[in-house]
Structure formats: C-alpha cells, structure tokens
Structure 1
Amino acid sequence: MIHYAVDGPPDAEVLVLGPSLGTDLGLFDAQVAGLADRWRVVRFDLRGHGGSPVVPGPYSIADLASDVVELLDHLGVRRFHYLGVSIGGAIGQWLALHWGSRVLTLTICASAARFADPPQWPVRAATVRAEGTAAIVSSRTGTWFTEDFAAREPAEAERLLDMLRATSAEGYAGCCEAIGTFDVRSELSAVTVPTLVLAGADDPATPPELVREIADGIPSARFEIVAGSAHLFTAERPEIVNTAVAGHLTRRVHA
C-alpha cells in the first residue's frame, strides 16, 4: 500500500491531496495548515516517491488511481473531495471518470487531459533510470516555482527540490511513462463531479491554455489562474489556493 498521512477532525468530510511527479506528501504542508481545521485531510505518496514502496514500472494513471482507491478503502473512506497537482490531477480526472460516485468535488491544479509532447516522457524516464533524479534537479527552478520565489523563499525552494532528490529513479520513471500515455480529452464530458481547475500564470510545464482544456471539457467546470506562480503553486501561493479550494468545497456543501 502507498504511504499516507491523515490530519484533521476524524468526523469531517475527507479531502484527498494527490502530489505531483517528483514530490511527496510534504508538498501539501500549507494545505494541511490552512484546511485541516475543517476537513479530514488525507495525503499520499505516489509509487516510488516519499515513503511509498518502489514498484517496477511502467505504470498507468489507472494503476495510480487504483492505489488511491485501495488506500481509501483501507481507511474506510467511501466519499471524498479530491485535489491533485499535475500527475495528481490526472489521477483526479481518472477517479472522476471511473469512481465518480465516490467523488464529492474535484480540484485539478497544473494538470492536463493530455500532457504536452507525449514522446518526451519515455525519454525522460530513460534518462532518470540511467542517471537518477539528480539529473533533472537543476531544471526545476523556473518550472516548479518562479525565480522570484526561489530568491524570496530559498529554504522552501530547497525543501521542494529535496523531495525530487529523494525520489527513486524507478518511481519517477514509471510515473513519467504513465504521464506519456495519459489522454482523456474525449472522455471529459462524462465527468459529473463539481470541478475547479487552477493554472499557474507562469507555469511552463502546464501553461494556462493547456490546463484550460480540462475546464472546457468538463461540464460547468470553473477555471482560475493563480497569479505570480509556476507549476507547484499549492506551495508557492498557498493563500490563494487554500481560499479557492475552501470556497469550492463549501459551495458543494451548501448546495
């Protein structure tokens, strides 16, 4: 079973947080601080990331979503809100399509219905299997977070990069292969879950126009751009994200 952490009131509605490629559940420390007073927050590590076991790849998004369902069944959680970043957002789309009756709301951050340049993902997987995740650490500043953030919050930027350094080569590569084969563009109209889609204004990995395709495909989905942020805006601009997410979850409750 994948590694997880649970915070917040045991009798509250559950909010599941799915991390991005190369990070672990610590990506969401600011969401726990801002949201775990009102929701029971469940965070998890992807295969081969953080404290989760290293499983030989390749993986599929269906495999990774099944890991989440297995975890929630273990915890006795039937229905839940879900927020995912990047590959975590792809997992969220899969959950909404295949386990939609269990999903109360969906929040997708810096993700895609099909990620850009699918052929480059197996190439990146091969690079990391040969050289380890250290081979790509230097490319993450400016992609994961803006240069301004790195200068303003160097300790936090380094904490995020340390997650990548600690990620197993096989876990990272297997997830790359899952990203490269993911494509639900033709299926999004079947999503009936109340959905909020967020994009980083300065994100080169999943630029706003790519992320917007998710919102355009899901009936009645809301789309917002997070100013002054790159790919990991849950960590770079948590005050904006937490406010948007709390509003989204609360609107569902009031409805």
Structure 2
Amino acid sequence: MEDALAGDGNTLVLLPGFMCDADLWTDVVSDLEPRWRAEHGDLFQDPSIEGMAARVLAEAPQRFVAVGFSMGGFVAREIALTAPERVSALVLIATSAMGTSLERSAVNRRRRVRIADAPFRGLSRTDLRRALHPSRQGEEQLVERMLAMGARLGKDVLLRQLAAERVDGHGRLPEIACPTLVVAAEADVLRPRDETDRLATGIPGARYEIIADCGHMIPLERPETLASLLNGWLAQAVPAAARG
C-alpha cells in the first residue's frame, strides 16, 4: 500500500489467498461502487499469520474494512482481534478458523525441504483445477491466470506461505465485535461447508452468504456476485458517518 491514509472508512484492504496476488481481485474491484477505495495487503514477506497481520496494520489506514480470501481470511481475523478499533467491518471469503493439522504441517515441512534448493516450477495445474467448480476446471484461461499469480510471486513467497501455519481460532470468534460478512462457495472442496458454517455461527451477528455453482476461487469464478454482495452489505454495515 503506497499511502497510509488517515482512514475515513472508505478503504477496503484486500488480503489474498495462498500464492495469489492483486490480480485475484481485479474483476471484483472493477464492479465496486466508486465510494470504495481498494488497497492490497502485503502477505508476501512474512512466514507467519501474525507477521502478515502486523505488516498489514503497519501499512493500512487508521480505519478500514478488512477483506480476506482463504489464507487472507486468517490474516483478516488476526487483524480484527489484534486491532479491533481499526477495523470498521470484516469480510471473510472461502476461509475458516480451522488450525493446521499435524498431518498437513508435516506435509508442508517436507514440501519446503523438497523445493528449497530446487528450481521453482510453479504451482500444480491439477491442484489449481481442483480449486475450481467442476464446470470451470476446463477453462484454460482461468487456470493460466492462477498459474501466472504463482509465477509472479515465486519460490521465496511459496516457502514463506507454506511456513505460515494456522492456529485453531474457534475459541476467539466470539471476540469479533465488528460487522462481519462470511461468504462461502457451494462447491468449495478446500473449505467445505462444515468449516464455513462453523465460522459464521461462531461470530456474533455475522451475515452468511453462500454462492451457488462456485468453487473455492470465488473472486475469480464469481466476481460480479461477490462485488454485488460487498456493495450491498457494506452500504448497511459501514455507517455513512464512518465513510466521511
């Protein structure tokens, strides 16, 4: 983020998912109403969720809406709990409060060792296709867009993000006091409905929306639907006085 604004409530700080960059949000931002400014949080320098959250807070406006997708949702929750006075609203997209399992932690450690001294060959097409709705898995343009984000970020970011383990956050969900929107996808195999259901019911007063015919990659698969949800919900959740 280039400018640390005083913060008038109009700024959405967008926090991407694992090995995603600002292009994740391109089609969503283009459909946001003009009163909302979008800034992109830097989740690329730190090997922990807490470190990512601290960096975003250091660069963000004094008052903002935290919008997190997948891994970015974990960072957004950490921000809302660490600095609640700075977060006017919280949006959690295709994410959960589940901690990293011992099995997944071991897999990630082995993966880091394997790729540390090897040439970076990019992300797996098979894994990326799995993140999409079955009806979209054959769309090469969409898969290439996801591959390109990973290629731009490179091996160092991959290693840092693989090291950023998630701590189970269900016990602290009741502490989230700001207006919260949870958005899930009907056919998300990476963050299935039981996880998003539990997240949404754990946050007091959270609004819960499920997007039909969509896989994990909501901002790429259904950007117009997501932007429409954001425009409508934010108009109610962030008071006009807070928006300046």
TM-score tier after normalising by the smaller chain length: 0.7 to 0.9
Distance apart, 1:135 and its partner CA: 6.4
**Separation in structure 1 between the aligned mates of residue 91 and residue 98 of structure 2, nearest angstrom:** 17
Specify the alignment match of 2:216 in structure 1.
231
Pick one of 121, 130, 133 that aligns with 1:143: 130
Instruction: Compute the displacement of 1:173 (Å).
Output: 2.6
| The one of 5, 20, 23 aligned to 1:23 | 20
CA-CA distance at 1:133 after TM superposition:
5.9
1:209 maps to: 194
How big is the shift at 1:237?
A: 0.4
Give the corresponding residue for 2:76.
92
Secondary structure in structure 2 of the residue aligned to 1:206: coil
* SS at 1:37 equivalent: coil
Shift of 1:11: 7.2
1:51 matched residue in structure 2: none
50, 62, 65: which one pairs with 1:78? 62
| Deviation, structure 1 residue 115 | 4.3
Whether the aligned pair in 1 keeps the contact of 2:32 and 2:228 (CA below 8 Å) is no
Give the Cα–Cα distance (whole angstroms) in 1 for the partners of residues 230 and 2 of structure 2: 20
Higher relative contact order (CA 8 A, sep 6+): 2
Displacement of 1:60 after TM fit? 1.9
| SS of residue paired to 2:235 | helix
Please, which runs of 5 or more residues in structure 1 have no aligned partner? 49-54
Q: 4+ runs of 1 displaced by more than 6 Å?
A: none
1:194 alignment counterpart: 179
CA distance in 1, matches of 2:110, 2:122: 11
Write out aligned runs for 1:1-255 (5 A): 4=1, 13-35=10-32, 37-47=34-44, 59-72=47-60, 77-115=61-99, 117-131=101-115, 134=121, 136-151=123-138, 153-178=139-164, 180-254=165-239
Does the residue aligned with 2:62 lie in a helix, a strand or coil?
Answer: coil
Instruction: Indicate the SS of the match to 1:140.
Output: helix
- Using structure 1 for the length normalisation, give the TM-score: 0.83
Task: Please report how far the alpha carbon of residue 208 of structure 1 lies from its aligned counterpart in structure 2 after TM superposition.
Answer: 1.6
Contact 1:129/1:169 (8 A) holds in 2: no
**What is the aligned-residue identity percentage?**
28
Deviations 1:175-216 (A, max 9, x none): 2232x3422111111110100101111111111211121111
Q: Give per-residue Cα distances to partners, 1:141-198, cap 9 Å, x unaligned.
A: 33322242243x43233111211233332322322232x3422111111110100101
Aligned length in residues: 234
Check the 8 A contact 1:12/1:38 in 2, yes or no: no
State the Cα deviation string for residues 226-245 of structure 1 (Å, max 9, x = none): 11111111110011111111
